[in-house]
Structure 1
Amino acid sequence: MSHVIIGPHLITFDQIRIGQWPEMAQYFKNSLKFCQDWLNGQESFSINTSGSTGKPKTIQVSRKQMILSAEATRRFFQIQNGDRLLCCLHTDLVAGKMMLVRSMVWNCPIHIETPNSKPLKEFPSCFPLDFVAMVPYQVENTLLDPNSLKAFKNIKNLIIGGAPISATLQKKISQWPVNLYQTYGMTETVSHIALAKINGDGNLVYKSLPGVSISTTETHQLVIKAPMASQDTLTTNDLAEMVSENEFIWKGRADFTVNSGGIKIQPELLESKIQGAMSQFFPDSRYFFGGLPHDLFGEQLVLVIEMKNQDHMPSVDFSDSLKSSLDKFENPKKIHFIENFAETQSGKINRKETLDKLYQSINTGKMP
């Protein structure tokens, strides 16, 4: 029987089953309550979706789905009983919940940390961790902290999800002796259903997990058939290029496509192209491409940058750098600065809400 470690407390699965744990912060209580429900055989759990296949909603996920997901990941990484896990993702969302499920299904000890930008900061530099999941900003901040970086090198398997990883970050982390993968998945598939090896060359090819079938529609939207999914067949809003019957390259979101004068532009592809320019001129700013309504072209391509200093204007050098990185029709017609981007519940940029706020501010003459 394995256990959960929270700060100085080691709590066995038997203790969790009967609700025997010390007083602690509410976040940890909620995490342990989920584990208690699981260990006592609860068959269904409510989880909020992020909107990958439509509007965000709450769905019911079965115990069987979660077990199938955990077992597919175990086979992919060849996890052994007793391997050490770290949960540093929010356990209210599917990614964090699945880390807890993996611990219980795999019979592995798990450390639970409050989600923060440097989850390895308090770990001893020599402490081994066999399986960890993070989001990109946690990895970025881990590399900036010397203590965290020492612990990072002792991770055996790291999966990174929640948002696409930048080519710059890929190059940074690929030099370390860690088995690194970018994930593809959603709440409806109960976490990831495909993984892409990160090797630093910028080319991410996703391979589906055992038991998962993938294909694309005529409009290149990814279709998933997986035993752990909430539906027999899921047609996603993600655009993909099939490489083989079980491998694909992610191209971006169909609902983010900008149609300007009949030319369809995929923002995520442009965002990867200008990473170098953004790192040079706006290293601490988030950004994205999007479309704003235009009388003549239907939509106009714009670049939106999150910036506290509203008086800052892009330099000629920055504009020249964009032009050298992008094709003729990929250059933004305008660059807009916004103090704060709207976000989803899971912390991702809410592009639609941010663009709506920007468009409204342009019409009213007030800065967003």
Structure 2
Amino acid sequence: MGKIIIREQEFSFEQIKTGNWSAQDPYFAQALYFCKDWLTGKTEFELSTSGSTGTPKTIQVNRNQMEISAKATRDFFGIEKDAKLLCCLNTEMIAGKMMLVRGMEWEAYIYLIKPQSNPLEELNQIFDFAAMVPLQVDTCLQNPDTYLKMQQIINLIIGGAPSSRSLLEKIAEMRLNAYQTYGMTETVSHIALAKIEGAELVYKVLPGVQIGVDQSNRLWVKAPMAKENILQTNDVVELLNSQLFKWIGRADFTINSGGIKLQPEILEPKMADAIFPVFGKVDFFLIGKEDEKLGQKTVLVIEHPKDEKKASDLIIELKKGLERYQVPKEILFNPSFTKTESGKINRIASYKNSL
């Protein structure tokens, strides 16, 4: 009938439904209360958007949306009853909540742990299905013990942020059955998945999802798990056919420098090979800054204390691998990036606080 396992304690769905559980850590308690609401038939839920490109907002989603999403994922992967699921994402956000919903709808065994950089460190279970963010996957692969555990996960979805080129190549080399997700809170989790077989990703929509683009090649989505009839996104894509697309980047991140449009999400992975040897494995991003001559100039913001010597060294390295117009015109530093509740970099806030 399915259970939730927390620190070797097992809670049957019937036990959760009746509220019959002992005092828990506040994080686990809120997850169990959400599960109780679900199991007792609650029909409306309040969710927060990530706020990665603006102010976070609260939206209402209904039970039917979440049920449709869970079924589409189950059908895609062929998950069977009594499967073992790992829930290591923040259950206050949509990604974590949907892992709980999937587990309950699939009558699965849900292993619930607090979000941490290496969720497999203290676990020895083989999972049929797990969801992680890129940071978690990367950390697990760097640890010799959890490296082997990652290979045993039968189906892995990765979301919350784009995976780096090096991580995608590492996953492909290991031949993990891993998929990068595409979705948003408004579609209650992913509506498309890309099998990771190298650095280039091609997304395939879930059953029942229709897609298209507007005149600016921004993706629109018509999905049974969304409230809106047609949901217009701000994501620039290359549409391959009615079911497949390549994600290019956010339209609101596009930099128009001297009439040349630069997409940060395409340039950033190329820059990583030059940045990491100079600064270590730091977070960074590109952003457009108003410029009287160019309209916008490209600025590189690095999560690191200010270091002009290293900045000069980096520019030399970047010029070796990029076109002249792709090289940042300025490098700024921020010792600690501002993050959204879901862990994404808030580019605008981090840029405003840079040095």
TM-score range, shorter chain: over 0.9
Quickly say closer, same or farther: Cα 1:237–1:315, change in 2 above 3 A: closer
Q: TM-score, normalised by structure 1?
A: 0.93
SS of alignment partner, residue 235 of structure 2: strand
Which of 187, 190, 196 pairs up with 2:188? 190
Question: Equivalences for 1:160-171 in 2 at 5 Å?
Answer: 160-171=158-169
The reply to whether residue 9 of structure 1 matches residue 5 of structure 2 is: no
Q: CA–CA distance in 2 between the matches of 1:297 and 1:146?
A: 48
The reply to whether residue 282 of structure 1 matches residue 279 of structure 2 is: yes
Counterpart in the other structure of 1:268: 265
Counterpart in the other structure of 2:137: 139
Which of 175, 178, 181 pairs up with 2:176? 178
Which of 318, 325, 337 pairs up with 2:321? 325
Quickly say closer, same or farther: Cα 1:168–1:196, change in 2 above 3 A: same
Q: CA–CA distance in 2 between the matches of 1:203 and 1:139?
A: 18
Give the drift of 1:345.
1.7
| Mapped contact 1:260–1:301 kept (Cα < 8 A) | yes
Quickly say closer, same or farther: Cα 1:111–1:51, change in 2 above 3 A: same
SS of alignment partner, residue 154 of structure 2: strand
Letter in 1 for 2:147: L
Counterpart in the other structure of 1:105: 105
| Mapped contact 2:311–2:331 kept (Cα < 8 A) | no
Counterpart in the other structure of 1:158: 156
Quickly say closer, same or farther: Cα 1:230–1:283, change in 2 above 3 A: farther
Structure 2: state its 5+ residue gaps. none
| Mapped contact 1:47–1:60 kept (Cα < 8 A) | yes
Identity between Structure 1 and Structure 2 (%):
49
The reply to whether residue 236 of structure 1 matches residue 233 of structure 2 is: yes
Question: Equivalences for 1:293-332 in 2 at 5 Å?
Answer: 293-307=290-304, 309-311=305-307, 313-314=309-310, 317-332=313-328
| Mapped contact 1:205–1:248 kept (Cα < 8 A) | yes
| Mapped contact 1:53–1:237 kept (Cα < 8 A) | no
Give the drift of 1:176.
2.7
Counterpart in the other structure of 2:252: 255
Give the drift of 1:52.
7.1
SS of alignment partner, residue 229 of structure 1: coil
Q: CA–CA distance in 1 between the matches of 2:175 and 2:262?
A: 37
Q: TM-score, normalised by structure 2?
A: 0.96
Q: CA–CA distance in 1 between the matches of 2:342 and 2:273?
A: 27
Question: Equivalences for 1:205-216 in 2 at 5 Å?
Answer: 205-216=202-213
Q: CA–CA distance in 1 between the matches of 2:216 and 2:45?
A: 33
Q: CA–CA distance in 1 between the matches of 2:35 and 2:142?
A: 33
SS of alignment partner, residue 298 of structure 2: strand
Q: CA RMSD in A?
A: 1.5
SS of alignment partner, residue 175 of structure 1: helix
Q: Deviations over 1:119-167 (max 9, x none)?
A: 000012xx21000000000011111222222221210000000000111
Q: CA–CA distance in 1 between the matches of 2:351 and 2:293?
A: 19
SS of alignment partner, residue 37 of structure 1: helix
- Select between 344-353 and 129-138 the one with higher mean Cα deviation: 344-353
| Mapped contact 1:52–1:237 kept (Cα < 8 A) | no
Aligned residues: 355
| Mapped contact 1:292–1:355 kept (Cα < 8 A) | no
| Mapped contact 2:315–2:327 kept (Cα < 8 A) | no
Give the drift of 1:344.
1.3
Give the drift of 1:245.
1.0
| Mapped contact 1:185–1:194 kept (Cα < 8 A) | yes
| Mapped contact 1:288–1:304 kept (Cα < 8 A) | yes
- Select between 261-270 and 162-171 the one with higher mean Cα deviation: 261-270
Q: CA–CA distance in 1 between the matches of 2:130 and 2:20?
A: 26
Give the drift of 1:312.
5.3
Which of 126, 129, 144 pairs up with 1:128? 126
Counterpart in the other structure of 1:361: none
The reply to whether residue 351 of structure 1 matches residue 347 of structure 2 is: yes
Q: CA–CA distance in 1 between the matches of 2:290 and 2:353?
A: 13
Give the drift of 1:53.
8.6
Structure 1: state its 5+ residue gaps. 359-366
Counterpart in the other structure of 1:362: none
Q: CA–CA distance in 2 between the matches of 1:194 and 1:324?
A: 36
| Mapped contact 1:53–1:235 kept (Cα < 8 A) | no
Counterpart in the other structure of 1:89: 89
- More relative contact order, 1 or 2 (CA 8 Å, 6+ apart): 2
SS of alignment partner, residue 178 of structure 1: coil
